[in-house]
Amino acid sequence: MTSILTNNGAMVALQTLSSVNSNLDESQTQISTGKRVNGAKDNSAVWAISKNMESDISAYESVQDSLDFGAATVGVASAGMEQIVETLKDMRDLVVSGVSQNVDHAQIEADLANKRETITSIISSASFNGANLLDSGTTAQLDVLGGLDSSSPISVTGVDTTADVITIMGSTLDATNADAVMTEIETALGNAIGHAATFGAADNRLTDQKEFVSKLTDSMKTGVSAMTDTNMEEASARLKALQTQQQLAVQSLTIANQNPSTLQQLFR
């Protein structure tokens, strides 16, 4: 039945066009933003999960900053202690030459004194942003956040290098005490090597944790992307199809709107 009051064909065509336009707007938004889930209304469950994961990602990025800071601090201490080890080895070589009776012990002692001052300078200079693990009086312990559990940080203990190295070497070299000075230096060298090894192990641990957190963060970002990002190939094909549907829907609506005008021919 054809009615001049109700155009059923036009209503159907209009509903179809509205639906196509809505889908087309959604597809264009996904392409322009790169996201198929932009808000809770798009997919509440996926949106909620993605936001929780994004929060964790942000937290892990802060952990990475903490690990970078900690690794830099430990790296400075490790480099400083390794340089102290090399300086002590040089001092040991000097004392070996001082065992002989016909050498200038005063000159050797002057060289040893310079080496001691070098070690003192290294200790005071091995600081990073106010933290100095070679001086336990300045930094007794460095706690580095290695994960989201703040109750279990990676702790690196500072050492009293002055007591373990400088103070031990209290004797002044002369013609009679080369053996005693040698013993002091070897004791200090053993302490320094032990501390250098400890710092090296701590540096490796922080580096390993940094790599793990970096990989974990990348995996989480990939997971969020898989849940919320637009598949551009699929969206492109969908957009083309919807554009075609829109054109056909417009034509259908045009035809439906023309149908009532044919009724005029019945009354001629």
Q: What is the DSSP string of 214-266?
A: HHHHHHHHHHHHHHHB--HHHHHHHHHHHHHHHHHHHHHHHHHHHGGGGGGGG
Q: Under a CB-based contact definition with an 8 Å cutoff, are residues 191 and 162 in contact?
A: no
Q: 267 vs 7, 228, 264, CA distance in Å?
A: 19, 60, 6
pLDDT for 51: 93
Burial 94-110 (b: 16+ CB within 10 A, else e): bbeebeeeeeebeebbe
Alpha helices in 98-132 (DSSP H): 105-125
**What value does the CA radius of gyration of the chain take, rounded to a whole number of Å?**
38
Q: Is the overall model pTM greater than 0.85, yes or no?
A: no
Burial 41-68 (b: 16+ CB within 10 A, else e): eebeeebebbeebeeebeebeebbebbe
pLDDT for 235: 84
pLDDT for 12: 83
pLDDT for 101: 63
pLDDT for 162: 96
pLDDT for 11: 84
pLDDT for 1: 60
pLDDT for 49: 94
pLDDT for 263: 65
pLDDT for 194: 97
Phi, psi of 131 (to 5 degrees): -100, 130
**Among 112, 78, 71, 76, which Cα is nearest to 95's?**
112
Cα separation, 73 vs 226, whole angstroms: 37
Mean pLDDT by 10 residues, the chain (268 residues): 69 85 84 86 91 94 95 96 97 86 85 96 95 96 93 95 95 89 96 97 96 95 92 86 87 78 66
pLDDT for 17: 83
